[in-house]
Amino acid sequence: MNSFKIIGLNVNSVYGNSYETVSQNSDNILHDCYGKGIVKDHLFIEYTLFIECENVYYGIYLSESHSASFGGKLCTLGNIRQKQLNISEVMSNITHEPLSTLSIKVPEENEFYEDNISVCLNNDPNTCVFKFSYDGGNEKTPSGYIYVNINLFKQIN
């Protein structure tokens, strides 16, 4: 694993599909008179961490999506991917910059297909930068997630 410097972060709100549920505290999906789940728009937050090692730049894209289980429950899936970028793609998309120098070890390409990734600072293993889980360890009723430690960044204008 190489050590990467975090250049910045992009925080973006996007609408995606979800389902109406019985109540805010329930994950039971409401169905119409034909038995189909009632679809609704949902505001999701997407994060892109921009990192650099030896003048090679990457974006780590973290997002969530909703789906339905076979049992009619609302499920959450965490999504992660990595892509090599050029410096202009990075600099033109930064919305937040690190409060201090942040260095991390990035999972290898094949590890991005694993569940439960947790990446901490090199110099402080107790400070998590981001976490990811595809299904929360539950394939039947997924409860995946993404987490980015936004407290390590400040918004730029």
Based on the structure, what is the number of domains in the chain?
1
Entry pTM: 0.91
* Other Cβ atoms closer than 10 A to 99: 10
* pLDDT one-digit tens code per residue, 107-123: 776 666 667 899 999 99
* pLDDT one-digit tens code per residue, 59-89: 999 999 999 998 899 999 999 999 999 999 9
How far apart, in whole angstroms, are the C-alpha atoms of residue 131 and residue 4? 16
* Other Cβ atoms closer than 10 A to 61: 16
Quote the domain boundaries for residue 85. 3-155
